[in-house]
Amino acid sequence: MNAGSGRAGNDNLGNQRITDNEETRDYEKPEDVLSLDSLAELVDHQNVIVQESVTQILLDRAASYDTLAEVVAACSVSDPVLRESAVNCVALLAKIETAKTPLVRLGALRVLSEVVRDPFERDVVRRDAVIALFKLVSGEDSRRSSLVRLDVLTALSKILVSDPSRSNDLKYWTLLLVHQLCVCDALHPALLATGFVPLLSQHARLSFGNTNTQKLCLHAVVRLVGQAEGAANTESELRKLIDMEVSAFISSCLRSDDPELAYWSLRLLFEFACRDIGRYAFSTQRGVLAGLMRTLGVGEPPAIRVALRTLKWLTSGNEDFQRHTLSTGIVRRLAGFLRSDDGETMTLALALVHELAENVDSHGELFETGCVKRLVELSPSLSVPLALYVADIFVFLCGSAANAMGVVGDGVVGAVVGFCKSNEPDLQYGGVAMLLNLSAIADDAIMLEIISSGGVAECQRLILSDNARRNVRTVSAKALVTMSSRDAGPFRNVILTSVLKPLCSKIVIATAQVIRLLFPPENSLVASVGEVLATGNLNSRDHYLLRIGGVYDRDTIENDSLPQSRLKQTKEAHSTSEGVREAIPLSENLIGMLATLTILANTPVFDNIPSDAGSEILLGVETVLGRVLTDLGSSLLDLVVLPLVDKETANAAGIDMIAISELNEGMTEGDPSHQTSDRRELRPKTSETSFSIQEIARKKLGLSVHSLDVIAQVVKYDTFRDYVVKEKFLSLIAPFIDHFNEQLARAALIALSSCIEKDDNAKWEALQHPRIVAAAWSTHLNRPSLAFFANLFLENALDFSLADGVDYVQLNCWDKTYSLLVSRDHLEIRNESWTFESIRATHGVSHSGQFAFEVELRTDGIIQIGWATRNCRYDPEAGNGIGDDLESYSFDGCRKQKWHGVTTKDNAYGDSWSVGDVITCRIDLDEREISYLQNGRSLGVAFQNVDSDNIWFVYLHAINCCTNGKISLI
């Protein structure tokens, strides 16, 4: 207790208590016989134990309700000496548990708050008031809330931000009180509004060496930001801390020898990670990684889990941080965590492995430390989300030829096939995607492992399955094509007979099913050629007999009479609305099969296959498929014409008929602005029609487009081409050439170009049809996005080119990959396939001089542009081309990276490019440098030490994009 007046004040209060109880008091304790005067003298005793005992006796005597009331009242008196003593006494009394409730009831919170809010009060008094408040509200949410309602927060914040001359004791006890308030979730909005998050963070930074203060501050901040109401509030507070450069302070605390301080700094860092704020600031603090690794080594399980989560955040998409993290030997620790009995720790370790596996530098350690083997062991028992993590990791590993031996030795292929066998579509997709990657790097050992593990059989099964998702089917087809490209013959023959042929047959059957559902038997008259001509504006002299699914009655065709086509009556009975509704999923399934067939047909690997090893007898699509090609052509033509016979679908569904052109206008790209102003609304005739006529139209349009895609690839076979040409294929799709739906028009132009390029009779028929040529010219002039395809058709049909008879540097049509489309002037290319297509120029440069060429980008997409020698090898299925070996250099502005070699590192370069940009690629053989310009602006030197003795050719490498190159010499 304080000396002087403080003691006298207590003496008077004590005497009052004795007087009131003198006659009735029962002295039960020895110390009760001591008078207040005696106790006052003992307060100053030299023995500390005596002092503490006397103080406690005095406090016990002052703990009566009446005495407490007088003490609380004295805290508000004007006499500063008496007020100081009273506040000090309350601070001491607040330590007594039985005195807390009476003090609160007597208004101690209000009185003490007034003392704290008084800026002119001495620090010692305010300190005692804060101490008293801290003791009174500890562990009591209701008292904490009452205190905040007394408007004490602003005063507390001012104390914490006051100048250094302010009493450190006052600041410390204020911090303790604020920490108590932060524990109450209900008070967080008020504390956040007062600005305590940055204030506490700053206070922690200034308390260097005082770990207790730092722990209190960090814990309070974590409580505030971790449970702030609303993501916006939390993010705002965290961004304030980033602006204060708190990352360096957290980095320092993470490495503290005090485990509690390290933990709360980790928890605060985790809050940043959860909101993805300050990733760069923390990843560039080298101490952060050291602190996190230390936690993984010696931390408790909760801290280890938080550290793993935080590391995942920091490594995500950050190659530099990934490299630093890998240099710490973290993969070996993760191998141990993957075997942890704690499921959450194992899961978080798996997530971190997933991030690190993106970096090729991790692959060797993942195999060496047993991580890959453990993932193979875990994969069958994991939940779908975790299994997808493993699938992604395997995709990364299977994409590098350097991992071939490890993939075979650690059983990865078997696990991959296990994913393919899953009933979960996402896992199936992951499995076939890994098979595609494996097939791209496959040597004999990997191919044998894929076959023996059932990988090929699974791809076949998924392609022919009626339940497989479209992307699962198409990727399975890509995997089989890639495997076939690496096989000399027998494997291709198996794919041809066990996949291609049955797939074509399934398409024929599925086409009949879809057509029957769209045009039920009870509506026997499906469409006459007259209706088709009226809808599609076909020439009335073009006698095309519309067959529905290959099942039709042929009428006698005489002179100019228009044949009528009818479905044969079948035993099936369908409710028309139910049938059309059922056609929607069947149509999606059929579209998937058509997309898959397009991939399988868009390759030469299934042509001219030896029937047996060493045999001179060659097999191919025409030999094996035979009559199936004709049936396929019939079905494809039925599907192509679907957009022209929309009337009957509407009638069969019980919906007022509207013209297909109007319907398609309304659904093009989902933009209602294409609808005509006089279009009538769709009005169901019955309330039973629940499906969408727009959805049906979209499926029919999709079926038509994908059928045209198949025709463009299969038309290379004489049997198929002769059949579709005989069936007036060119006349049939004439309305699509200038169709407003860009997808349909593009598919029609490509199919027509492919057909006439390979057949002079088809070319002659195209020229005899004025609408085809006129529509192509109109498209070429008025639709820039389709100009390439229109021009390609016109050049093939009219057999002319601006390049005829001209000898200059141009793209070499004889030195390109299979699927790349090249204009007749040999200056423009288009890649419509899934593979990375490549082309080289006709002339090269060497020894000395400066040379350049320009490329105008007509579409977006991945394009690698540069220079290559003749030794650069194409591998479109594996995605290898210019820049992917040591014989070439390239730049891709889509990814803002330069490429040279199989495992290019630190290859960031240039700026993002966009449609319309002109990219100049310059080679300086005197300085042995390659550089690029974008719209005339230099991007700097990309490559140095280029071998000037080699002959360097212009080289383009593209996937699903269009470029226009104009080559010039400097």
Q: Examine the pLDDT at 733 and tell me if it is beyond 90.
A: no
pLDDT value of residue 10: 38
Q: Is 838 helix (H, G, I), strand (E, B) or coil?
A: strand
pLDDT value of residue 441: 81
Reduced 3-state DSSP string for 438-501: HHHCCCHHHHHHHHHCCHHHHHHHHHHCCCCCHHHHHHHHHHHHHHHHCCCCHHHHHHHHHHHH
Half-sphere exposure of 433 (CA within 13 A, CB side): 17
pLDDT in tens, 483-493: 888 765 567 77
Tokens 């991580």 found at: 371
pLDDT in tens, 427-480: 999 999 999 988 888 788 888 888 889 999 999 999 999 889 999 999 999 999
CA distances from 271 to 265, 266, 289 (A): 10, 9, 16
Assign 281 a pLDDT band (cuts: 50, 70, 90).
very high
Q: Examine the pLDDT at 565 and tell me if it is beyond 60.
A: no
Q: Examine the pLDDT at 381 and tell me if it is beyond 80.
A: yes
Average pLDDT of the segment spanning 370-396: 92
pLDDT value of residue 880: 78
Q: Examine the pLDDT at 358 and tell me if it is beyond 80.
A: yes
Two structure tokens written together for 24? 């009735």
Domain spans, the chain: 329-484, 811-969
Assign 593 a pLDDT band (cuts: 50, 70, 90).
very high
Question: Which of 251-260, 400-409, 762-771 has the lowest average pLDDT?
Answer: 762-771
Assign 767 a pLDDT band (cuts: 50, 70, 90).
confident
Distance CA 632, CA 625 (A): 10
Q: Which architecture characterizes domain 811-969 according to CATH?
A: Sandwich (2.60)
pLDDT in tens, 178-207: 999 999 989 999 999 999 999 999 988 888
Which residues is 852 bridged to in the sheet?
Answer: 922, 968
pLDDT value of residue 233: 76
Question: 745, 736 in Cβ contact below 8 A?
Answer: yes
Q: Examine the pLDDT at 914 and tell me if it is beyond 90.
A: no
pLDDT value of residue 563: 28
Which residues is 548 bridged to in the sheet?
Answer: 551
pLDDT value of residue 6: 37
User: Which has more pLDDT, 595 or 872?
Assistant: 595
pLDDT in tens, 931-969: 999 999 999 999 999 999 999 988 776 665 555 444 444
Asked whether the CA dihedral 749, 755, 758, 760 is positive or negative, the reply is negative
pLDDT in tens, 768-794: 777 788 888 888 778 888 888 888 888
Q: Examine the pLDDT at 11 and tell me if it is beyond 50.
A: no
Q: Examine the pLDDT at 709 and tell me if it is beyond 70.
A: yes
Assign 670 a pLDDT band (cuts: 50, 70, 90).
very low
- Contacts from 713-718 at CB under 8 Å and sequence distance 24+? 713/597, 713/598, 713/601, 713/602, 713/754, 714/597, 714/601, 714/621, 714/629, 714/632, 714/633, 715/751, 715/754, 715/755, 715/758, 716/754, 716/758, 717/621, 717/622, 717/629, 718/622
pLDDT in tens, 121-135: 999 999 999 999 999
Concatenated DSSP letters of 618-683: EE-HHHHHTHHHHHHHHHHHHHHTGGG-HHHHHHHTTB----HHHHHHHHGGG-GGGS-TTPPPP-
pLDDT value of residue 540: 28
Q: What angle do CA 704, 709, 711 make, to 5 degrees?
A: 95
Q: Examine the pLDDT at 760 and tell me if it is beyond 60.
A: yes
Percent of the chain with pLDDT over 90: 37
Question: Which of 56-70, 370-384, 624-638, 912-926 has the lowest average pLDDT?
Answer: 56-70
Check whether domain 329-484 has CATH 1.25.10.10, yes or no: yes
The values of phi and psi at residue 153, to 5°, are -65, -40
> In the predicted model, what is the mean pLDDT of the chain?
78
Question: 349, 390 in Cβ contact below 8 A?
Answer: no
pLDDT value of residue 647: 46
pLDDT value of residue 826: 78
By CB atoms closer than 10 A (0-12, 13-18, 19+), residue 429 is buried
pLDDT value of residue 683: 34
Q: Examine the pLDDT at 564 and tell me if it is beyond 60.
A: no
pLDDT value of residue 231: 60
Percent of the chain with pLDDT over 70: 77
- Please count the other Cβ atoms lying within 10 Å of the Cβ belonging to residue 522: 14
Question: 51, 45 in Cβ contact below 8 A?
Answer: yes
